[in-house]
Chain A
Amino acid sequence: MQSFGKNHSKMVRAQFLFARVLLPLAVWAGISCFSRPALADGDVTLRETAQKLAERVSTIPGLHGVLRLEWHPDANWSEGESARWQEVLRGEFEKRTLSLTEDAGAPALDVFAAETPTQVVLTAKTRISERDEVRIVAVTRSLLPSGLPPVAPVRLGRQMIYQSADRILDASSLGNSEDEGLAILLYRNFEIVVLRVDLKSAVKETVSLHPANVKPSRDPRAELTMRGSSVWVLLPDRVCEFSWGAPGEVKCRAEKPPPADKFDWRGQTLLTSPCDGSSWKLLNSGSEPNAREVLQVVPDGVMQETSAAVLSEFPGPIVGTNGERNPSSALVIARNLRTGNYEIYKITLACGN
């Protein structure tokens, strides 16, 4: 009985090991080995388009033997975008038993890609017994993944450095030294207030613009600028100035014509890549008050939607950005939709993917 008990307990242990450890491991391994990562809709569309072309090509009468794939991408495509299409097309051709080779002596299968205002047109052309065979498919451009593939020579680091239940209007770093902290402009109890905080978020100084007759406003536009020891606050109808250490001496003057018509606000926030010195700009809309917002950091000179874009999602709308002393960093102010707080993030470009 004992021996039976020992054997039984071995069996139980073995069953336990199989059921609880090996089986899940095998299932996991199977899933890992044979499944592919979930494809975005755009990727599926791209693959379906390539499949459609490959199917049409495979039905060309008399097409057999080894072919040399000659790829002619649209002139406006990035290398990454072109390479992605080529890779998928090659895969789809090979799935349909079309043998491809790099041999220059093999008959050519030319595949051209061209963008029209709304479509990508793929054309395959090959020559069979003195006649040209052409197969064409098209796909709606807007259904394809934007910015293929999402590869950038930089990555984005992000760190939240301050948050407040009050509405933060703007923020600016103080000086070159890491321990000099931030100046924060916020709207508190119908007053515009400037805070000086250290790196531990401790408030070191509070300056209200109310004594300088700055009235409450629903206009959210306000900007902080550091000029030496002076702090400048640009509002839609006036400019205020004071120095740290002398908070009672806030001076404000009306601007004529009012800045609201001058559009004289801060320009695009730019970052400098520490890798190659290239300029990158921040793109955000800030116009949808109830949606999480994705900040796009794109090479300067690109309007939108580029394969090189670096994306960072914030917990709510981005209400402002400002450059830092360090040219590869910037401050981003966002409203957290879950908590209602306003949050200041420091974002930094770094090399590599």
Chain B
Amino acid sequence: MHSSSIVYGGTIGSSLSTKQDMTGAKRKLVIDATLCCGCLSCMINCSQFQEHESSLFSARIRVTLEPFDGVHRLVWCRQCDEAECALNCPQQAIKYESVKGYYYVDYGLCVECRTCVQVCPYGAMMINETQNCVIKCDLCAASEPMCVRSCFTGALWYGTEDDHPDRMLSRYFFRERGDTR
């Protein structure tokens, strides 16, 4: 009986739930599309968590599959420092949660003019066609986002550009094995 000597690296992301990491950098959704495996777990888990349904069309992150060419295409919200969606909203309905560092839609103010959809440079303001409303990523209110939690390859990361895990290693094996054989 011996403790595992394998380095699985500890729990990813979930222990830091505030705006900044320990170096002071703002934590965001970071994406490396070259690691996306096309499982669409991020989308389904997003819609299930945010909209309480399983759908590819009410997710706040979008993956377009490229099954014959290679790297899939992802669309996601960067939580911009100078957010065009918020700056251009005539109702000031897109607000910033300053402690945790994300933008969200105040549906009490939103009139569905869709200006935000038009001005977002990343196409990351989505529309839930069933509910006929705009939706945007709020990092799951800055607990570890569901999309990140469901991504095994490390394509999605909640942190900074610099603290990405080993890109060659499936994320689920980073967990502490923490037991004996």
Are A and B genuine complex partners?
no
Footprint of A on B, CB under 8 Å?
Answer: none
